[in-house]
A and B are shown apart, each in its own frame.
Chain A
Amino acid sequence: MSAIDQPTSTSFLNRMSDAFWRRPKLLLALMLAPPLLWLGMIYVGSLFSLLIQSFFSIDEFSGVIQYEFTLKTYGELFRPANYDIIIRTTLMAAAVTVASAIVAFPVAYYAARYARGKIKALFYLGAMLPLWSSYLVKIYAWKLILAKEGIINWIVDGIGLTWLLKAILSIPVIGGNSLSVSYIGTFLVFLYVWLPFMILPVQAALERVPGNLLEASGDLGASSRQTFTHVIFPLALPGIVAGSIFTFSLTLGDYIIPQIVGSSRLFIGQAVFAHQGTAGNIPLAAAFAVVPILIMALYLWAAKRKGAFDAL
């Protein structure tokens, strides 16, 4: 079959194909151009425009944005009201991360070490389905659970522990009038919503622990507790750090959960939303948005040194 018999479109494709073969860089460039243009222009471009705006300031009297370089807006972050928001959010993110590591570890450990066949699939889907199921529906479920007339109060009432719940809710900072307007409620919802993000990387890390290391540890006379603390746990740690990246970052940036379940005191996300919305103070909103980026950059830098990225 000669090239003349072929329709011109095929021979054109053939020539292009030959060009790709002779110059692989050309093909690579063609393949990379669309995603790079999209992500580079739309995403990185937007991030830069945000960053730039955080160096502008707003005129306090007229409310007009002044397009001049200044660090004044960042200075405002250190005013007590704003500083409190940052500390509050970071503490909540840390608490949620620690709690989710504690709750997730047994689930991941059992799934990796003892589950087989159908049970293993069940555990995997058991973490995957809640991970992917609707974020708002999950929050809504907790609104139902924590409501005054909801299931928790019904159970607590039924077993006669109302006094205990009242005692917990009367603790100064974390308590409140009811569960749905207290930090305890916010914390529970955060924990629930981000927990699957901790289970999956921890399980992945545990799956990769070689069986012969455990046998060697046992042969050398370690009890199963010693094997756990000296072999299994250190090898699972990168998985926990990888999971904590998600739980920490997601809590830092969330503004919907504390808005729906929690007290009226703001979190970083809510502050960003409020400043860019009705207040129209885009520079301060931008500066606030840079805070979680900085915290996460520090966190990622530390996590990278612990080798957490191999466990993702």
Chain B
Amino acid sequence: MHSDRPAPLALKVAAIAGLLFLHLPILLIFLYAFTTEDKSYQFPPPGLTLKWFAVTWNRPDVWEAMRLSLKVASVSTLIALVLGTLTAAAVSRAKFFGREAISLLVILPIALPGIVTGISLRSAFNLADIPFSTWTIILGHATFCVVVVYNNAVARFRRLSGSMIEASMDLGANSFQTFRYVVLPNIGTALLAGGMLAFALSFDEVIVTTFTAGQQATLPIWMLEELVRPRQRPVTNVVAMVVVILTFLPILGAYYLTRGGTDTAGSGK
């Protein structure tokens, strides 16, 4: 519903104000990473310095939290990729009883408030006497990461024409070869995009993690402790800025991978 007439001024102002409201607070994070003030959140900063970057670099607890977060996000993303692709393939290739229920089941973990997911998993781990560890964190993360992969894959499968698969089978390829040489190249970028988003989701998750983690601190848990009881404000400022940059990269990557999407073979149908 595009209009070629220029937009009314009031609308333009409201739209730009909305975007600024979304972005200025994040920009502020970048400014605070350089402030010389270390006792309060004073604005404007009394001076600018680079020394907090060096201080943060030498902090073992930050590195450890970062390492755990990367590990959890990688493993959860891998699990989510497998489960999400399988579900998307099944749901998009056949109509069967309970298909709607399966889509609902996949969406449920992020449709319900995170605290519900968190406390259910925690009480289940307690009942089953499973000790809290890195694996319980991964178990929780993988569960709600499936939906991101599933959404991306299902959209791409819908565009992938069934005749491509039939042609491949007619030409003598078995199911596995068809998957490897016909399906996978076509859904590859969607999976990559879904995987990146799942990674970003897991890397940032805190609500479910507070329930499923034992003594370990992922990066978000480390930040949460700093938010509740600020102890090292300058280090937190730097970590916050690094996290912003680290999460922007996969998002931009996923955006460029799924943009347009007219290159899917067989989509002309």
* Cross-chain contact B18 with A106 (CB below 8 angstroms): yes
- Looking at A11-19, A80-88, A159-167, A170-178, the stretch in contact with chain B turns out to be A11-19
Q: Which residues of A contact B122 (CB under 8 A)?
A: 276
Question: B7 contacts the other chain (Cβ, under 8 Å)?
Answer: yes
Measured in the bound complex, the distance between the Cα atoms of B119 and A135 in whole Å is 20
Question: A71 contacts the other chain (Cβ, under 8 Å)?
Answer: no
* Cross-chain contact B112 with A293 (CB below 8 angstroms): yes
* Cross-chain contact B15 with A149 (CB below 8 angstroms): no
State whether A43 and B109 are in contact (beta carbons under 8 Å apart), knowing that A206-B1, A286-B119 are contacts in the complex: yes
**Dominant SS at the B interface?**
helix
Q: Which residues of A contact B106 (CB under 8 A)?
A: 35, 39
Question: B267 contacts the other chain (Cβ, under 8 Å)?
Answer: no
Question: A4 contacts the other chain (Cβ, under 8 Å)?
Answer: no
| Min C-beta distance of A181 to chain B, whole Å | 14
* Cross-chain contact A20 with B123 (CB below 8 angstroms): no
Question: A49 contacts the other chain (Cβ, under 8 Å)?
Answer: yes
| Min C-beta distance of B106 to chain A, whole Å | 7
Closest to B93 in A: A28
8 nearest CB pairs, A to B: A253-B113, A17-B174, A106-B14, A110-B15, A46-B120, A46-B124, A107-B18, A141-B25
State whether A135 and B206 are in contact (beta carbons under 8 Å apart), knowing that A103-B18, A207-B1 are contacts in the complex: yes
Question: B2 contacts the other chain (Cβ, under 8 Å)?
Answer: yes
B residues contacting the other copy or chain, number (CB 8 A): 84
**Binary flags per residue of A268-312, CB closer than 8 Å to B gives 1, else 0:** 110011001000001001100100110010000000000000000
Question: A127 contacts the other chain (Cβ, under 8 Å)?
Answer: yes
* Cross-chain contact A28 with B240 (CB below 8 angstroms): no
**Binary flags per residue of A186-223, CB closer than 8 Å to B gives 1, else 0:** 00000010011001000000110111011000000000
* Cross-chain contact B244 with A137 (CB below 8 angstroms): yes
7 A–B contact pairs at CB < 8 A? A32-B87, A38-B146, A50-B119, A126-B19, A128-B255, A137-B223, A255-B207
**Residues on B facing A (Cβ under 8 Å):** 1-3, 6-7, 11-12, 14-15, 18-19, 21-23, 25-26, 28-29, 32, 40-44, 79, 82-84, 86-87, 89-90, 93-94, 96, 102, 105-106, 108-109, 111-117, 119-124, 126-127, 139, 142-143, 146, 169, 174-176, 197, 200-201, 204, 206-207, 210, 220, 223-224, 227-228, 236, 240, 243-244, 247-248, 251-252, 255
**Residues on A facing B (Cβ under 8 Å):** 13-14, 16-18, 20-21, 24, 27-28, 31-32, 34-36, 38-40, 42-47, 49-50, 53, 103-104, 106-107, 109-114, 116, 123-130, 132-145, 147, 149-151, 154, 192, 195-196, 199, 206-207, 209-211, 213-214, 232, 245, 249-250, 252-256, 259-260, 268-269, 272-273, 276, 282, 285-286, 289, 292-293, 296
